[in-house]
Amino acid sequence: MGADDLAVTSTPIPGLLVVTLPVHRDHRGWFKENWQREKMVALGLPDFGPVQNNMSFNARRGATRGIHTEPWDKFVSVATGRVFAAWVDMRAGESFGATFSIELGPETAVYVPRGVGNSYQALEDGTLYSYLVNDHWRPGLAYPALHLADETAAIDWPIPLDAPEVEISEKDHHNPRLDEVTPVAPRRTLILGGGGQLGRALAAAFPDAEVADRATLDVADPAALAAWPWAEYDTILNAAAHTAVDAAEEPEGRRAAWAANAAAPAALARIADEHGLTLVHYSTDYVFDGEPRDGGHAEDDPVAPLGVYGQSKAAGDLAVTGARRHYVLRTSWVIGEGGNFVRTMRRLAEGGVSPTVVADQVGRLTFTAELARATKHLLETRPAYGVYNVTNGGAPQSWAQIAARVFELSGRSADDVTPVSTEEYGAGRSMAPRPRFSVLSLEKITATGFEPVDAGEALEAYLAE
- Mention every residue, 6+ apart, whose C-beta is less than 8 A from residue 352: none
Helix (H) or strand (E) holding 254: helix 251-258
- Residue spans of alpha helices (H) in 16-102: 37-42
DSSP 396-435: -EEHHHHHHHHHHHTTS-GGGSEEE-HHHHHTTS------
Contact 178, 153 (CB under 8 A): yes
Q: Measuring CA to CA, how many Å separate 143 from each of 139, 187, 331?
A: 12, 14, 42
- Mention every residue, 6+ apart, whose C-beta is less than 8 A from residue 442: 296, 389, 390, 391, 393, 452
Select which of 111, 120, 129, 131 is catalytic. Answer: 131
- Report the C-alpha gap between 158 and 150 in whole angstroms: 15
Q: How many CB atoms lie within 10 A of CB 156?
A: 9
171: amino acid identity, one letter:
K
Any idea how long the chain is?
A: 465
Contact 81, 122 (CB under 8 A): yes
- Mention every residue, 6+ apart, whose C-beta is less than 8 A from residue 155: 86, 88, 99, 101, 119, 148
Active site includes 286? Answer: no
Contact 272, 279 (CB under 8 A): yes
Helix (H) or strand (E) holding 456: helix 455-464
pLDDT at 4: 59
Contact 295, 229 (CB under 8 A): no
Helix (H) or strand (E) holding 445: helix 443-446
3-state secondary structure of 315: helix
Q: What is the pLDDT of residues 146-178, one digit of tens each?
A: 999 999 999 999 999 999 999 999 999 999 999
Active site includes 24? Answer: no
The alpha carbon torsion through 134, 135, 141, 145 (nearest 10 deg) reads -10
Can you list the domains of the chain with their CATH numbers?
Answer: 3-180 (2.60.120.10), 188-464 (3.40.50.720)
- Report the C-alpha gap between 386 and 62 in whole angstroms: 48
Q: What is the pLDDT of residues 21-38, one digit of tens each?
A: 999 999 999 999 999 999
Report which DSSP code applies to 374. Answer: H
Burial class (CB in 10 A: 0-12, 13-18, 19+), 426: middle
Per the DSSP assignment, residues forming a β-bridge with 366 are 334
- Mention every residue, 6+ apart, whose C-beta is less than 8 A from residue 281: 238, 265, 268, 316, 317, 320, 326, 327, 328, 329
Per the DSSP assignment, residues forming a β-bridge with 394 are none
The alpha carbon torsion through 334, 197, 412, 363 (nearest 10 deg) reads 0
Helix (H) or strand (E) holding 74: strand 74-80
pLDDT tens over the chain, length 465 residues: 334 589 999 999 999 999 999 999 999 999 999 999 999 999 999 888 899 999 999 999 999 999 999 989 999 999 999 999 999 999 999 999 999 999 999 999 999 999 999 999 999 999 999 999 988 888 877 889 999 999 999 999 999 999 999 999 999 999 999 999 999 988 899 999 999 999 999 999 999 999 999 999 999 899 999 999 998 899 999 999 999 999 999 999 999 999 999 999 999 999 998 888 999 999 999 999 999 999 999 999 999 999 999 999 999 999 999 998 999 999 999 999 988 999 999 999 999 999 999 999 999 999 999 999 999 999 999 999 999 999 999 999 999 999 999 999 999 999 999 999 999 998 888 889 999 999 999 999 999 999 999 999 999 999 998
CB burial of 352-364 (b: ≥16 within 10 Å; e: otherwise) equals: eeeeebbbbbbbb
450: amino acid identity, one letter:
F
